[in-house]
Amino acid sequence: MDNLVERFLRYVSFETQSNFSVTHCPSTSGQIVLAEQLKNELIELELVDVELDENGYVMARLPSNVEHDVPAIGLIAHMDTAPDASGKDVKPQIVENYQGGDIALGIGDEVLSPIQYPDLKKLLGHNIITTDGTTLLGADNKAGIAEIITAIAHLKANPDIKHGDICIGFTPDEEIGRGANLFNVEKFGAKWAYTIDGGPVGELEFENFNATSADVICHGVNVHPGTAKNKMINSMNIAAQFQLMMPTEETPECTEHYEGFYHLKSMEPSVAKTELGYIIRDFDREGLEQRKAFMQSKVDELNSSLTKGRVELILTDSYFNMREMVEPHQHIIELAKEAMIACDVKPDIKPIRGGTDGARLSFMGLPCPNIFTGGYNFHGIHEFITIEGMEQAVRVIVKLAEKTSEKYQ
């Protein structure tokens, strides 16, 4: 596992937060800076077909070292970090041989507590990398990048480990749902791939939410409040009425496993116009359509009750459940399971309560399940990862390459 932690700590020092409000790709310049760094590292490893395109996608290939035909497999991770918390000036800390209790983050009062995060109780004796309580860590998904490159370096240094072609892809703007938009599947060259973008050790995922964005736009009329009687229509009041019509028990904080939800994620209020930004999630395509219809019915109901003002709804499908595209290729799931078991990792097959590049790529003809990184609490200041978990991810990647070669021998 030479240089794994050093690589990870170097990558999290790059500010690569993506930006919803920017339309070009990548959405932030910091992603290109990291992409250049990764391109140079892949060249130093003497990989072939190393390329960084104008949109910030990095691709490379480790050539096969066997004589027999083995389908090329892909390993994919994303370079951006989530807009939910700052990724600037990340100051990670390593807690060695964790012995339980609260972990102080930085010099303030912020702590990582096993009361709030019970997973910590399972990690006694582990070496944990945390934030300093002011930014996210960036394990999502720079841990995946570090693990892929470390695994590739290990394969290069140990030619006795047999493998076929391994295609590497690092993508921009995954956190804002655009990571697969300009991904060239044909040029990538893999028959199937794995995103290394999961959470705790053992996670193996090949199904995800169907996802739709819902913009609820409430229109009012702004007039000087001193002369507003019978003239002003405050759109924020209309927006409040709409939000109260949504089911309170079907939100992210009240659901788990295969339960879908409606999530109010943003609000841009003013008297004249208020925009509510929702995301709708459901594992079943029919269930997603029912949720969309429910929101439309509430818009219609509210419009019919308003004497002044109006509400409009804009629905935009984001991605669909990759299960329907991956299930016909069960051997790629079985290979991942075999690799984990061979590394003494118990596969934990579960649905992704979100999306990954793999969901979109699966519908673009590249079946692409998701494998763990060893991280927890992504997208916030309580994000952390264990060194042991990262090392296990590297071992699984190496074993996956070896198992694939053996299967086609």
Answer yes or no: do 199 and 265 share one domain.
Answer: no
Query: Is residue 324 marked as binding?
Result: no
CB 375 within 8 A of CB 143: yes
Structure tokens at 7: 């690589």
Average pLDDT over residues 172-190: 95
The whole model's pTM is what? 0.90
User: Catalytic: 80?
Assistant: yes
User: 27 with 56, same domain?
Assistant: yes
Asked about 282 being catalytic, the answer comes back as no
What does the mean pLDDT of the chain come to?
A: 96
Q: What is the CATH number of the domain that holds 294?
A: 3.30.70.360
Q: Looking at the structure, do residues 299 and 330 belong to the same domain, yes or no?
A: no
Q: Verify that 187 and 215 share a domain, yes or no.
A: no
Are 149 and 259 in a shared domain?
no
**Residue 300 marked ligand-binding:** no
Based on the fold, state whether residues 87 and 124 are members of the same structural domain: yes
Q: How many domains does the chain have?
A: 2
Annotated binding-site residue? 338: no
- 41, 165, 174, 205: the active-site residue: 174
Closest to 205 (Cα-Cα) out of 327, 307, 310, 96: 327
Instruction: Kindly state whether residues 115 and 225 are assigned to the same domain.
Output: no
Residue 1 has pLDDT above 90, yes or no: no
pLDDT of 2 reads 77
The answer to whether 2 is a known ligand-binding residue is: no
> What are 68-113's pLDDT values in tens digits?
999 999 999 999 999 999 999 999 999 999 999 999 998 778 999 9
Same domain membership, residue 230 and residue 166:
no
Identify which of 396, 375, 355, 359 has the alpha carbon closest to the alpha carbon of residue 131. Answer: 375
Has 78 been labeled as part of a binding site? yes
Assess whether 307 and 380 both reside in one domain: no
Kindly tell me if the per-residue pLDDT of 65 is higher than 80. yes
Q: What is the mean pLDDT of residues 31-37?
A: 98
Buried b (16+ CB within 10 A) or exposed e, 250-277: bebeebeeeebbbbbeeeeeebebbbbb
Q: How much is the pLDDT for 282?
A: 97
Are 401 and 303 part of one and the same domain?
Answer: no
Indicate if 112 and 153 belong to the same structural domain.
yes
> Active site residue: 80, 147, 203, 383, which one?
80
Using the 3D structure, point to which of 319, 343, 375 is the last residue of a domain: 319
In which domain, by residue range, is 315 found? Answer: 210-319
Tens of pLDDT along 272-312?
A: 999 999 999 999 999 999 999 999 999 999 999 999 999 99
